[in-house]
Chain A
């Protein structure tokens, strides 16, 4: 599976866990989306550093983009493959879901 396909699956899985498995429903709150908005801004910044400098390099056949590392375009946003946004979304959501779920268990 390409990075693109796995990234889409990861986003769907994270949403399923939030909505129906852990039932934290963070994606239904303004609080989580506000936090994510802040996080994604800094993700673009820090990931731009990692990808723009070539600290991480991607195989062209694994992403929607090609070998070109552009600021915007060719499947890239601030140098990073757009798939990284999905990776980050899934990681951040899963983290907040687990954190919240554990907190609710303790509160009981």
Chain B
């Protein structure tokens, strides 16, 4: 397997490397609420994963075998499944960080 096969993995790693430090930086409790986090990923991610499975099956888009790892679920590479875990996670981390910053500066709406 050549380096090119890791191209999609690299993008996911970039997302995590960029956002996981926010947990420490803003003392986020996101990872201390595993049930809430896992439920969110499953509930929010499932319809999009289903859409993705359908769209690849219908041929609306496809993944380059030379730039993804070998494992597949239907027509999706493993990385695309991981995408629906990574993107919800980084979205929550970003959203919670913004909430912390806005609370510190006293600009948070009554949005809890």
Query: Do B60 and A104 have beta carbons less than 8 Å apart?
Result: no
A44 within 8 A of B: no
Query: Do A32 and B51 have beta carbons less than 8 Å apart?
Result: no
Query: Do A49 and B11 have beta carbons less than 8 Å apart?
Result: yes
Given contacts A31-B98, A34-B102, A55-B8, contact A102 B40 (CB under 8 A): yes
Interface positions, chain B 36-69, Cβ under 8 Å from A, are: 36-37, 39-41, 43-45, 47-48, 51, 55, 58-64, 67-68
B108 within 8 A of A: yes
Given contacts A39-B91, A55-B8, A55-B64, contact A30 B44 (CB under 8 A): no
Query: What is the size category of the interface that chain A forms with chain B?
Result: 35 or more
Q: Which residues does chain A contribute within 8 Å of B43, judged by CB atoms? A: 98
Which has the most chain B C-beta neighbours within 10 Å: A6, A38, A96, A99? A99
B112 within 8 A of A: yes
Q: State A25–B92 Cα separation when bound (angstroms).
A: 16
Distance in angstroms from B73 CB to nearest chain A CB is: 16
Given contacts A46-B14, A107-B112, contact A95 B91 (CB under 8 A): yes
Q: State A59–B107 Cα separation when bound (angstroms).
A: 45
Partner of A58, one of B10, B47, B61, B112: B61
Chain A residues proximal to chain B, CB less than 8 Å: 2-3, 6, 10, 25-26, 29-32, 34-35, 38-39, 42, 46, 49-50, 53-59, 62, 87-88, 90-92, 94-100, 102-104, 106-107
Chain B residues proximal to chain A, CB less than 8 Å: 7-8, 10-11, 14-15, 18, 36-37, 39-41, 43-45, 47-48, 51, 55, 58-64, 67-68, 87-88, 90-92, 94-95, 97-99, 102, 107-109, 111-112
